[in-house]
Amino acid sequence: MFLAAAACADPTPSVAQTGEVTSSDHHDFRVVTVAEGLVNPWAIAFLPDGDILVTERPGRLRIIRGGELDPTPIRGVPQVRAAGQGGLLDVVLHPDFASNRMVYLSFSKPRMDGDEGTTAVVRGVFDGSALTDVEEIFEAQAWGRAGQHFGSRLAFDRDGYLFVTVGDRGNSPETDTPETHPAQTTDNHVGSILRLHDDGSVPSDNPFVGQAGYLPEIYAYGSRNAQGMVVHPETNEVWINEHGPRGGDEINLVVAGANFGWPVVGHGINYNQNVIHDATSAPGMTDPVHYWTPSIATSGKMIYTGDAFPSWRGSMFVGGLAGEQLARVTLNGHEVAGEETLLLGAVGRIRDVRQGPDGFIYLAIDDRRGGESPILRLEPAGN
C-alpha cells in the first residue's frame, strides 16, 4: 500500500493559460483547448473518425466534429434526473461499434411516481445526429432521493463484458452496524461493481449467480462511489477509483467476489469530521492498492499506451475533482511504485481522462470556477 499526501483544498494555480509549457518528471507538455462552452462535461468517447462524444450532466450528449463543438445536441438521449451529482453521466462505444454503431450511456434515472433516482444504462444506434433504437438494458436496485453517489462508470473488457459501477447513493456511513449498510448487503446494487453481457443479461459465471441473498449482476461490492474505471490494455484486469469521504480515496483492483469494505473499513473520516471506521483493514475485505489522504476526490482514469509521451506508457492517470489535479500513478504489477502530481490547481476539476487516437491525453473539466467548461488536451511541448 502506498500513501500519498496530496493537498486538495484551494490549490494555487500553476498554469495561467492553455498553451504554456508545463514541465514534469519525464515530459514537457502544453495544455491546449479542444472545445469550450460545455456545461458539466462528464465523459468523453472517441469515434473512429476522430470526432468526440461528450456527455453534459444536465442531460445532453454533444459531439465535437472536426475540432468544433456542434451547437446541436445529439437526439435520442433518455430523460435524466439532473439533481445534485445526477444526470447524463458516462458514454462508451460498443467494442464492435464500427459494425453496429452502438453507443452506451449511463444516467440517473428518475422514478415517474416520486422524487427518487437510480443508476441506469441504455444503448442506442448512433446515426451521426441521433441515437435510434434506444433500449434500457439495466436499472440498478439502488433507488433513493439522494442526489449523489451514482457511480455510473462504464467499461468493456476485451471479452465483451460490460462493467458498471453503482455508488452507495449517499446512504450515511455513520452507523453502529456498518455490516448492514446497503453497500455491504448484496440484495441490492448499492455500492457495487456489476458485470453484464452487452445486452444487459447476466453472465453465468458471475461470482454470485445462484447464491441466495445476492443479486446476480454483482461482481464486487463494498464500494462508496467509483467514478473512475479502466480495463488494463495488457492484462484485461478492471481497475477502479474510489471517491472517499475526507480522505481515503482509493485505487482498487476488481476481482470476482471482492468486498472493498465500505463503510466497515477505510482511511478517511466523514465530512462532518466524525469517525466512520474502527479499522483500515479486516478479514474478508480487500485492501486498496493505493489510497490518498487527504482526498484528491478521484474521478476519471485511464492507462496510457500511446506514442506521444513514451515515458508515460503504462502509467495510470487519475483525475482529481476537489484536488484539481491529474495524478500519474506508476504501477509495478498490482502495486503502486510512485506518483507524480500534474496540473495542480491549473485547469480546474478534472472529471474525465481519456487517451485520444492521436496519443494525446484529453481531459473533461467539470464546472471550471463556476462557469462553462472545456475539453482540454495535453500535447508534447515540441508539437
Cα angle for residues 95, 361, 68 (degrees, 5° grid): 85
| Residue 266 half-sphere exposure toward CB, CA atoms < 13 A | 30
DSSP string for residues in 233-293:
TTT--EEEEE--SBS-EEEEEE-TT-B--TTTB-S-B-TTS-B--SBS--TTSPPPSEEES
Under DSSP, the state recorded for 294 is S
Under DSSP, the state recorded for 85 is T
From 27, 94, 149, 277, the catalytic residue: 149
- Measured in degrees and rounded to the nearest 5, phi and psi for residue 290 equal -160, 150
| Residue 149 is among the residues annotated as catalytic for this protein | yes
d(CA 271, CA 67): 40
d(CA 51, CA 157): 22
Q: Report whether 33 contacts 376 (CB < 8 A).
A: yes
- Measured in degrees and rounded to the nearest 5, phi and psi for residue 4 equal -115, 130
Say whether 2 sits in a helix, a strand or coil. Answer: coil
Q: Is the peptide bond before 263 cis (omega within 30 degrees of 0)?
A: yes
SS3 content of the chain, % helix, strand, coil (to 5): 5, 40, 55
Cα angle for residues 116, 365, 235 (degrees, 5° grid): 85
Beta-carbon contacts of 113 under 8 Å, excluding residues fewer than 6 positions away, are none
Q: Which residues are catalytic?
A: 149
